[in-house]
Amino acid sequence: MTPHYLLEQALARFPILLIKDELKQERYLRDALQFYSQHSGIIMRLQLEQPEILITPKPLAFNGIYNIRGEWCRYRYDEISNYLHVLDDVRNGPWSMSYFVNVVQWDLNVDLPNDLEYSLIIDLIESLVGEANAQALSMSKFLANLESMDGKQPSEYHQQRESVEQQIRESAQLPDFALI
């Protein structure tokens, strides 16, 4: 699933959507992805046959790299070229590595890693957009004197966001070294 698809799923939940600005919608999407990345974490695990690999987008953090004997290996990540270089004897390969994925900078039209809780991200996007949308609806109802229109209040979306954020924190991925 791509980030754009997640945004479309969240926006489809609104019978009346006043937040039509695509840049604002993308900002809410990126805010949701950033919160998910920072509080739940998305760990990518790879098997490297060669001591060099291109990693994009730039990872949030590396958990570690281990050679075939299970020994921790030093590495160097070039932030300009986005290449990771394993500083180990080539005969000790293949190497196992893991790192935290940075989905904030993810291409919005490229599928996200499979182990995400997509429903939580969609719920978080809904709550972020919903709070702003409910405020805009409240203002529109007031100006048009349509107080009888029902809908969620901004405070309800705020409570929903806090609940979803807590669920995301509880689903946190632990780094490999914490799994001892």
Cβ–Cβ under 8 Å, residues 136 and 18: yes
- Total residue length of the chain: 180
Quote the pLDDT of residue 28.
Answer: 96
- pLDDT-based confidence at residue 101 (cuts at 50, 70, 90): confident
Residue 65 in this model has a pLDDT that exceeds 80: yes
- Helix 154-170 × helix 22-39 angle, to 10°: 40
Compute the average pLDDT of residues 30-50: 89
pTM: 0.75
Cα 138 → chain centroid: 30
- Give the C-alpha separation, 117 to 178, whole Å: 21
Q: Rounded mean pLDDT of 67-96?
A: 93
Phi, psi of 83 (to 5 degrees): -95, 140
* Average pLDDT for 136-160: 70
